[in-house]
C-alpha cells in the first residue's frame, strides 16, 4: 500500500510526518500543498481543509 502526504516544506507538522514515514520505511509520495494540488486534497481528504486565502 502506498500513501500520499500533502504538505508544505515550511510546515513543521508536514516535515515531521515525512521524517516519520521515511524512518518507518512506509511507501509514500510527497505532494507539495499548492493551489494546483488543493482540489485533489479536498477530494481525497475526509477532513475539512481551508487555504490561507479563505
Question: pTM of the entire structure?
Answer: 0.67
51 found inside a domain: no
10 found inside a domain: yes
33 found inside a domain: yes
Q: For residue range 15-45, list pLDDT tens digits in order.
A: 999 999 999 999 999 999 888 888 888 888 8
Nearest to 8 by CA among 26, 28, 27, 35: 35
39 found inside a domain: yes
Position 49 pLDDT exceeds 50? yes
54 found inside a domain: no
50 found inside a domain: no
pLDDT at 2: 80
13 found inside a domain: yes
pLDDT at 23: 98
Number of independent structural domains in the chain: 1
For residue 51, what pLDDT band results from cuts at 50, 70 and 90?
low
Position 54 pLDDT exceeds 50? no
Amino acid at each position: 500500500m502506498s500513501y500520499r502526504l500533502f504538505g508544505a516544506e515550511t510546515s513543521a507538522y508536514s516535515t515531521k510526518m515525512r521524517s516519520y514515514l521515511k524512518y518507518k520505511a512506509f511507501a509514500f509520495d510527497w505532494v507539495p500543498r499548492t493551489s494546483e494540488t488543493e482540489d485533489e486534497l479536498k477530494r481525497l481528504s475526509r477532513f475539512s481543509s481551508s487555504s490561507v486565502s479563505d
